[in-house]
């Protein structure tokens, strides 16, 4: 909804994400803030931000598969793991630079996802959830059993930091900019995908299983494509994770992590890429705050044991998610849109 007096004379202008000068100014301001963040923070905060961007990319992917196309995926962490392993293997044994290993990791994860996306043509809901959990279960077993020369077997793979033009991207600031750059590219892609022909087909599939076929949308093709797209993002997230942590083992990519990705998306809002951003921001923020408070409590010699603090952090985090969903079942992105609409027509009420 736009305020009275704001109108566009062409479809092209109306269709843009950034339609007015204040919107463009805000967006540029955000970019400047993100680019300037390393100069305003410390190494620890940069680490948190980098990890958050990496997670955000994986959740963007999940938004494509689950939110946009309506295909449940509980194995996103396995696809993140595949990406991490492929990036580590290609950068190690093949010595490829990061600008080749990162897309390759995405493609590898996307290709692997086709296998688990195939059942989506015939099953949905809980049944589809089971096949994606299978991806999660199979991933570590297969990776450990593959020849050691490929992915290190149970040893995992160590990797060097990314290099560009002979410069090592090893410092927290360099890693931050690498993650931010990839996030901006993929974020732009995710936001635009939902308004493309493919995105509309995904949404049609999400809303109804039969009608898209009648409309000339090939459900088989688009369901596979939805899995491929989501896992592609997951693979790229995994590659960045591998460059961030610099060692890859199967233990790092658990079902628990997949559940967190889903949790972030649900809290943020399933139906918009903005949900992936807000959900990841919210959960990371709550996690870090709770952890910080827990550490302060322990340091205050209040007599509370570490075990209780750990249990409490999980309870508080779970509680925060429940409360958010009770008050905003459509996710934070929905609330954001309401706030935006209310602001635009202020001082009139928005109903």
Enumerate binding residues for other proteins (CB under 8 A).
Answer: 42-44, 46-48, 50-51, 137, 140-141, 144, 153-156, 158-160, 170-172, 241, 244-247, 249-252, 291, 294-295, 298, 305-307, 309-310, 313
Q: What angle do CA 57, 145, 128 make, to 5 degrees?
A: 50
d(CA 50, CA 177): 8
Smallest separation, CB 211 to other proteins (Å): 41
Cis omega (within 30 of 0) on the bond before 347? Answer: yes
Least Å from the CB of residue 194 to other proteins: 29
- Measured from the CB atom, is 47 or 119 closer to other proteins? 47
Q: How far is the CB of 159 from other proteins (least distance, A)?
A: 7
Closer residue to other proteins, CB minimum distance, 188 or 295: 295
Per DSSP, what are the bridge partners of residue 167?
164
Q: What is the DSSP string of 1-60?
A: ---TT---SSHHHHT-S--SHHHHHHHHHHHHHHHHHHHHS-HHHHHHHHHHHHHHHHHH
Nearer to other proteins, 256 or 327 (CB): 256
User: Is 88 or 332 the residue whose CB approaches other proteins more closely?
Assistant: 88
Residue 42: CB minimum distance to other proteins, A:
6
Cα dist. 61→20, 161, 261 in Å? 29, 24, 10
β-sheet bridge partners, residue 271: none
Helix, strand, coil percentages, rounded to 5, for the chain: 75, 5, 25
The minimum distance between CB 298 and other proteins, in angstroms, equals: 5
Residue 247 or 330: the one with the smaller Cβ distance to other proteins is 247
């Amino acid at each position: 909804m736009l305020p009275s007096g704001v109108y566009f004379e062409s479809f092209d202008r109306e269709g843009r994400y950034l339609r007015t000068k204040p919107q463009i100014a805000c967006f540029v301001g955000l970019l400047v803030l993100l680019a300037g963040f390393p100069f305003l923070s410390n190494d620890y905060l940069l680490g948190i931000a980098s990890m958050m961007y990496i997670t955000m990319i994986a959740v963007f992917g999940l938004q494509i598969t689950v939110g946009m196309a309506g295909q449940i995926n509980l194995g996103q962490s396995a696809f993140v793991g595949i990406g991490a392993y492929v990036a580590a293997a290609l950068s190690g044994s093949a010595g490829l630079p990061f600008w080749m290993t990162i897309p390759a990791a995405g493609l590898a994860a996307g290709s692997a996802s086709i296998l688990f996306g195939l059942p989506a043509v015939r099953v949905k809901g809980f049944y589809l959830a089971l096949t994606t959990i299978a991806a999660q279960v199979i991933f570590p077993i297969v990776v450990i059993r593959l020849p050691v020369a490929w992915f290190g077997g149970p040893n995992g793979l160590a990797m060097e930091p990314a290099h560009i033009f002979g410069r090592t991207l090893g410092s927290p600031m360099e890693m931050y900019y690498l993650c931010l750059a990839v996030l901006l590219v993929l974020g732009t892609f995710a936001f635009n995908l939902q308004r493309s022909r493919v995105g509309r087909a995904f949404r049609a599939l999400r809303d109804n299983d039969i009608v898209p076929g009648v409309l000339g949308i090939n459900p088989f093709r688009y369901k596979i494509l939805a899995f491929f797209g989501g896992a592609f993002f997951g693979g790229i997230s995994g590659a960045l994770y591998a460059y961030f942590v610099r060692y890859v083992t199967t233990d790092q990519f658990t079902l628990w992590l997949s559940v967190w990705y889903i949790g972030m998306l649900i809290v943020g809002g399933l139906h918009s890429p903005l949900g992936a951003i807000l959900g990841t921001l919210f959960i990371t923020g709550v996690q870090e705050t709770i952890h910080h408070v827990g550490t302060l409590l322990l340091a205050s010699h209040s007599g509370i044991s570490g075990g209780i603090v750990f249990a409490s952090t999980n309870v508080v985090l779970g509680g925060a998610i429940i409360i958010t969903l009770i008050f905003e079942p459509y996710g934070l992105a929905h609330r954001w849109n309401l706030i935006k609409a209310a602001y635009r027509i202020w001082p009139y009420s928005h109903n």
